[in-house]
């Protein structure tokens, strides 16, 4: 008996901001994927977005999109504070969900989302796209294989300067704005995915006048005096690199480590080798392909971005927030 050909996955997008444009651009490159429907609270915006990316349908409400029986998967790209609500809406209607990071505002919300996915036997995954990028998978393997011996220290930062604007979701505390949830999640992700759960954590932060965090500095401590120095900032441009100092050399993910980039291998006393992964997309296609594969295999949980990892990630974010006394309404 021949294997059935993979089904073409009908995708929807909820929330049509900047990141949704990037995802839609890359979705067009994914074989076996169709952008079927998009939704905004504004019909004109939905129509314009849909026209740009050849979506078959455009909706002026998320509820209408979620009730479309032809959808297989939805990418949720609304502000952080709405992730739980919009994820539950789609899961309730039996639609697989790829939800932007952070998965939700806190561990309790994430637990509720996972519980609903299991009850509905429907695929759910946090869209931490970095995990699926070839350069990051390469680094994970190099470290696991002890290419340069054990990790002694990690430094990872993510910072850029933006003029403060309380009306922009990046700074708006009521929707989860601030450096930690938006970009601090990436250095934390690097630490957890390579070094695991820290023994102890220390953190300090600076704040905007509206109470959103402007920057956050973190130190995660592990066994054998291994430390991870992590930073996020919306008030300064930082190298935005992830550097692993190992016994016999350095593995460095170069600028914009969270996005398609190069990797430098620097043996102690030796010459730097730069590995180029020849990316030709923005990079969101890799997570979309993964979701397609999971759906075609009948799976309801990723074996890469697992529920357990997402739970640990949000738990760590919650713990850092407690350390810096950051509270959301």
Task: Return the CATH number at 221.
Answer: 3.30.360.10
Confirm whether 315 is domain-assigned.
no
Confirm whether 27 is domain-assigned.
yes
Regarding whether 293 and 245 lie in a shared domain, the answer is: no
Quote the domain boundaries for residue 294.
Answer: 9-130+284-302
**Rounded Cα–Cα distance for residues 214 and 206 (Å):** 5
Are 240 and 168 within 8 A, CB to CB?
no
Q: Which helix (H) or strand (E) holds 253?
A: strand 249-253
User: How many domains is the chain partitioned into structurally?
Assistant: 2
**Rounded Cα–Cα distance for residues 51 and 21 (Å):** 12
Regarding whether 126 and 179 lie in a shared domain, the answer is: no
Predicted pLDDT of residue 1: 47
Confirm whether 226 is domain-assigned.
yes
What pTM was estimated for this model as a whole? 0.97
Regarding whether 295 and 225 lie in a shared domain, the answer is: no
Regarding whether 165 and 119 lie in a shared domain, the answer is: no
27 contact partners, CB below 8 Å, separation of at least 6: 11, 33, 35, 53, 284, 285, 288
Regarding whether 149 and 121 lie in a shared domain, the answer is: no
Confirm whether 166 is domain-assigned.
yes
- 3-state class of 51 per DSSP? helix
Regarding whether 272 and 138 lie in a shared domain, the answer is: yes
Q: Tens of pLDDT along the chain (329 residues)?
A: 456 788 999 999 999 999 999 999 999 999 999 999 999 999 999 999 999 999 999 999 999 999 999 999 999 999 999 999 999 999 999 999 999 999 999 999 999 999 999 999 999 999 999 999 999 999 999 999 999 999 999 999 999 999 999 999 999 999 999 999 999 999 999 999 999 999 999 999 999 999 999 999 999 999 999 999 999 999 999 999 999 999 999 999 999 999 999 999 999 999 999 999 999 999 999 999 999 999 999 999 999 999 999 999 999 999 999 999 999 97
Confirm whether 321 is domain-assigned.
no
Regarding whether 240 and 151 lie in a shared domain, the answer is: yes
Are 171 and 234 within 8 A, CB to CB?
yes
Confirm whether 16 is domain-assigned.
yes
Predicted pLDDT of residue 263: 98
**Rounded Cα–Cα distance for residues 58 and 125 (Å):** 24
Q: Give the CA angle between residues 115, 185, 125 to the nearest 5°.
A: 30
What CATH number should be reported for the domain holding residue 37? 3.40.50.720
* Alpha-carbon distance values, 135 to 14, 31, 263, 293 (Å): 28, 21, 7, 20
Regarding whether 226 and 119 lie in a shared domain, the answer is: no
Regarding whether 219 and 288 lie in a shared domain, the answer is: no
Confirm whether 312 is domain-assigned.
no
Regarding whether 66 and 178 lie in a shared domain, the answer is: no
Regarding whether 88 and 150 lie in a shared domain, the answer is: no
Confirm whether 311 is domain-assigned.
no
Regarding whether 62 and 171 lie in a shared domain, the answer is: no
């Amino acid at each position: 008996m021949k294997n059935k050909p993979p089904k073409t996955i009908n995708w929807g997008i909820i929330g049509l901001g900047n990141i949704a444009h990037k995802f839609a651009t890359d979705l067009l490159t994914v074989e076996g994927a169709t952008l079927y429907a998009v939704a905004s609270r504004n019909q004109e915006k939905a129509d314009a977005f849909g026209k740009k990316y050849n979506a078959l349908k455009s909706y002026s409400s998320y509820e209408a999109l979620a009730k479309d029986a032809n959808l297989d998967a939805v990418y949720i790209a609304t502000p952080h504070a709405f992730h739980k609500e919009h994820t539950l809406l789609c899961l309730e209607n039996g639609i697989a969900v790829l939800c932007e990071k952070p998965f939700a505002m806190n561990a309790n919300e994430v637990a509720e989302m996972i519980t609903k996915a299991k009850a509905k036997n429907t695929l759910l995954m946090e869209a931490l796209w970095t995990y699926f990028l070839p350069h990051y998978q390469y680094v994970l393997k190099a470290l696991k294989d002890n290419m340069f011996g054990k990790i002694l220290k990690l430094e990872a930062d993510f910072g850029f300067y933006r003029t403060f604007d309380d009306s922009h979701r990046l700074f708006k505390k009521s929707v989860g704005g601030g450096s930690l949830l938006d970009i601090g999640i990436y250095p934390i992700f690097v630490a957890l995915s390579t070094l695991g759960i820290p023994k102890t954590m220390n953190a300090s932060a600076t704040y905007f006048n509206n109470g959103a965090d402007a920057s956050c500095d973190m130190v995660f401590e592990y066994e054998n005096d291994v430390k991870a120095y992590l930073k996020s900032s919306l008030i300064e441009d930082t190298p935005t690199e992830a550097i692993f100092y190992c016994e016999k050399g350095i593995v460095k993910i170069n600028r914009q480590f969270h996005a398609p980039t190069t990797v430098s291998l620097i043996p102690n006393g030796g010459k730097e080798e730069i590995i180029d992964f020849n990316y030709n997309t923005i990079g969101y296609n890799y997570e979309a392909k993964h979701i397609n594969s999971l759906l075609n295999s009948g799976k309801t949980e990723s074996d890469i971005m697992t529920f357990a990892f997402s739970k640990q990630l949000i738990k760590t974010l919650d713990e850092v927030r407690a350390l810096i006394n950051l509270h959301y309404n």
